[in-house]
Structure 1
Amino acid sequence: MDYIQNFDYHDLWNKYNVIWHHLNKDVNILVGINGKGKTTLLNVINEYYNSKPGKNNSKHIEATPLDCPVVYIQSADVPSDVKKKNSQLLENLLRVVLQNGKQESFFNYRMRALNYPEMAQRISERIELLFREIDGYFSQTNKHVEIDKVRNLLVFREQGGDVIELEMLSAGEKQLLYILLTVFLMDDKPTVLLMDEPELSLHIEWQEKLIKSIRLLNPKCQIILTTHSPSIFVSGWESKLVYIEDLFIKI
């Protein structure tokens, strides 16, 4: 299966059975007040699909078996210290941009065009699509994205021509770029994307466009996210809302 249809967790906190059936193949938006278990549920889903057998609470879980990866973008608001938060955002961003032996990166993806000429046109077209999406957000701040061909790096350039390195971007810009690049690197393949409060640090206008951009960059991506911001779902995604209280049944 290339998306999660059902996910049941029995005996959560020795208080609840979590019963979630008939998930949408495209978008699922978990809402509810703080402390009701939204982030916990995302953590459990991620752990179940990404942990080694025997280490994922599988005895408590009945869920759709998957033949696709599960990617988890955690809340950008975890570090309380602003410097630590910015440092973590930059670390996340550089991991998906630079040459990286452990996982896919934009650098490695772009290099495929040189190593596999038959893939060059598709790679070029996908990069053009990505850059159009990024520029659609960053044009508000008079920046546009480009490739520094000497260093083979992503950089931004201001209207006046000055280059802006990734390190100099704001927290919201880093967060947005990290999300879009993560989805881009799925390479149009079926993937489950978990996101915990992706709106943090993002402008209101960016929040309104985020789901549409993710679906454009990978239409085969199943999105499961938590949010407290109506701006995330105001642009036609209201029918995808799931209230966390409806999933928790007292034992």
Structure 2
Amino acid sequence: MNIICGPNGIGKTTILECIAQSFSGQFVPILKRRADSSEGEVLAWIDDISSTESAGFKVTEFLPARGNAYTQPIEHRAKNLLSLKVARTFNYQPLDAVAKDVRKDTAKISTENISGLNISEVKNWFVNRHLYSAHSDSLTGAQLHNISLAKEFFGILNSNYKFSRVDASSNEIMVSTPAGEILYEYLSSGFKSCLSILFGIVKELEFRFKELEVKADEFSGVILIDEIELHLHPDWQAKIAKILTIAFPKSQFIVSTHSPHVIQAAQLDEVIALQTDNGHVFRRTLPETQYGFQGWTIEEVLKDVMGMEDTRTLIYHKTLKEFEKAVDDDNYSDASAAYEKLDSLLHPENHLRKLLAFQLGALKG
């Protein structure tokens, strides 16, 4: 698990796009050189068990209407990268008939590496596998393994949710929840975002490696996920990276995030924190601790990992300055007014309130 964090505009998504490009072998308008440069260059090396391949390329174009030179995609590279973009939730999708698997040739795979996995294919794939699993010898051993794995994903975030059935009359995927049985499209956006990642990976591996019969939890390629925390409650943001590494233990994940909860739960050396200084982007040096940041507060993660200079609001700082100035000026009236405002702004259990009250009392005396 590799978690890239940093402020907006620093290039987190661009890094993911460059990795996708390195595997895919064709250029798209999203990759442009910097405005102050004549060209850009990406240097990449792809390692597998037996060899290391160079996959670097140059980017010369700046205008959106013009693309860079096209290069023929390389099949074994393209197949071994999966990319998930920010569009990961989905609406209700009627399934009037169960279709056969989508054919994925190298060109299509390469295109989807750049545009992102097609999550609209998931429902048909799931229903197809579930229905055919009841018929002996209809599915391969890997397909049976993968659909069993996929059914377990419904409860991976919350054990109170379970796959229930596929309705034979409507091809609807039904989920058992604490509130009763519902269509899987009726799950929350956070649930659907997670399932889009999990199901999308399994579905795509079956379509790409049909002849090899790859079991999803044995896939050892690269999986890119932009803004991994999207639609998730902070509690699930803290779980999502661990869930993915449990579900796909041999894969290499490279993800971006703006969430301190994702970083707080990360393991040692999983976080790549980016910072900029006068236009130069570099990797921040982070403390080497045995447990990563799992004992840090969210505020400490925001400041010392993500580079957030201040975690309080402008109105708080303005009012605090007014209070401090009034104290320096021995102006009890202004200090009292500022204190009343701070008293309303602060958390009910904040110990700073007592210190401010002590200062105000001393000024009155």
Fold shared by both chains (TM-score > 0.5): yes
Q: Which has the higher strand share?
A: 1
Tell me the residue number matched to 1:39.
13
Equivalent of 1:63, from 23, 44, 50?
44
1:1-251, aligned counterparts within 5 Å?
27-52=1-26, 60-64=41-45, 65=53, 67=77, 68-76=79-87, 89-90=89-90, 99=99, 100-102=101-103, 105-110=125-130, 113=133, 114=135, 116=137, 119-120=140-141, 123-139=143-159, 142-148=160-166, 150=168, 153-159=172-178, 161-162=180-181, 164-185=182-203, 186=205, 187=216, 188-245=218-275, 248=281
Which deviations, in whole Å up to 9, do the C-alpha atoms of 1:83-123 show, x marking residues without a partner?
xxxxx72169999xx74524673345556744746834x54
Q: Distance in 2 between matches of 1:50 and 1:134?
A: 31
Question: What residue identity is the alignment partner of 2:238?
Answer: E
Q: Give the number of the structure whose alpha-carbon radius of gyration is greater.
A: 2
Question: What residue identity is the alignment partner of 1:194?
Answer: L
Q: Distance in 2 between matches of 1:135 and 1:201?
A: 18
Aligned length: 206
User: Could you state the TM-score of these two structures normalised by the residue count of structure 1?
Assistant: 0.65
Q: Distance in 2 between matches of 1:108 and 1:219?
A: 26
Question: How far 1:62 moved relative to its partner?
Answer: 2.6
Higher relative contact order (CA 8 A, sep 6+): 1
Which deviations, in whole Å up to 9, do the C-alpha atoms of 1:28-87 show, x marking residues without a partner?
111111111111111222233224379989x933322464421111124xxxxxxxxxxx
Q: Distance in 1 between matches of 2:43 and 2:196?
A: 32
Structure 1: stretches of 5+ with no match in the other structure:
1-26, 77-87
Question: What residue identity is the alignment partner of 2:102?
Answer: G
Which deviations, in whole Å up to 9, do the C-alpha atoms of 1:123-143 show, x marking residues without a partner?
44544444334214244xx53
Structure 2: stretches of 5+ with no match in the other structure:
33-39, 46-52, 54-75, 105-120, 206-215, 283-365
Distance 1:236 1:40, change over 3 A: closer
Q: Distance in 2 between matches of 1:213 and 1:116?
A: 31
Report the aligned-residue RMSD.
3.7
Question: How far 1:205 moved relative to its partner?
Answer: 1.9
Distance 1:109 1:248, change over 3 A: farther
Distance 1:227 1:238, change over 3 A: farther
Question: How far 1:176 moved relative to its partner?
Answer: 1.1
Aligned-residue sequence identity (percent) comes to 25
C-alpha contact 1:207 1:231 (8 A) present in aligned 2: yes
Question: How far 1:175 moved relative to its partner?
Answer: 0.5
Distance 1:54 1:227, change over 3 A: closer
Distance 1:93 1:51, change over 3 A: farther
Distance 1:135 1:93, change over 3 A: farther
Tell me the residue number matched to 2:303.
none
SS of alignment partner, residue 36 of structure 1: coil
User: Could you state the TM-score of these two structures normalised by the residue count of structure 2?
Assistant: 0.47
Q: Distance in 2 between matches of 1:110 and 1:144?
A: 15
Which deviations, in whole Å up to 9, do the C-alpha atoms of 1:9-34 show, x marking residues without a partner?
xxxxxxxxxxxxxxxxxx11111111
